[in-house]
Structure 1
């Protein structure tokens, strides 16, 4: 498991175990991540957290790699 996958798993686990964190993560993801994990994201990066239910699922369509200009200075994606 990569470090990004490990971090994502830790965030999900904390949300399952800590209702207050989960609510903050949904309402203000950047603040929740900074407070709980010390992660500071640039202002131009947007983060959205949603909770799936037994009847509602989320399908994330990632950026098309063919449409992304890759440079040697590109910022690594968190996920």
Structure 2
């Protein structure tokens, strides 16, 4: 793995995983079955043995939200401004339809 690949963020890696899954059905099925091993083999991402990794596939009848760990600063709660900077400071409106879910970012 090159130093450029090692420096990638979680968002970069997730984008590569999704792109490959959309292009390769066998990879997607393997990823759904054993995400930790597949991610390590295909992208060189190593997870701690005690870390649980799961992958869910959305469809037109299901939508999943991920609630990340809430950052703590030595036991202090974050201000509204700090929380907005962590989550990007935008609102998401979700519209379900026959072609799947649509997201409108405001």
Scaled to the shorter chain, the TM-score interval is 0.7 to 0.9
Q: Higher strand fraction: Structure 1 or Structure 2?
A: 2
Q: Distance in 2 between matches of 1:68 and 1:16?
A: 41
Q: Distance in 2 between matches of 1:47 and 1:68?
A: 27
Gaps of 5+ in 2: 1-6, 76-106
Gaps of 5+ in 1: 70-79
Q: Structure 1 pair 46/18, CA: closer, same or farther in 2 (3 Å)?
A: same
Q: Report how far residue 18 of structure 1 moved.
A: 0.9
1:45 is aligned to 2:82 = no
1:58 is aligned to 2:30 = no
Whose radius of gyration is greater, 1 or 2?
2
SS at structure 1 position matched to 2:59: coil
Q: Report how far residue 68 of structure 1 moved.
A: 8.2
Q: Structure 1 pair 57/67, CA: closer, same or farther in 2 (3 Å)?
A: farther
- Once the two structures are superposed, the pairs formed by residues 1-79 of structure 1 within 5 Å of their partners are 3-4=8-9, 5-66=11-72
Query: TM-score by structure 2 length?
Result: 0.56
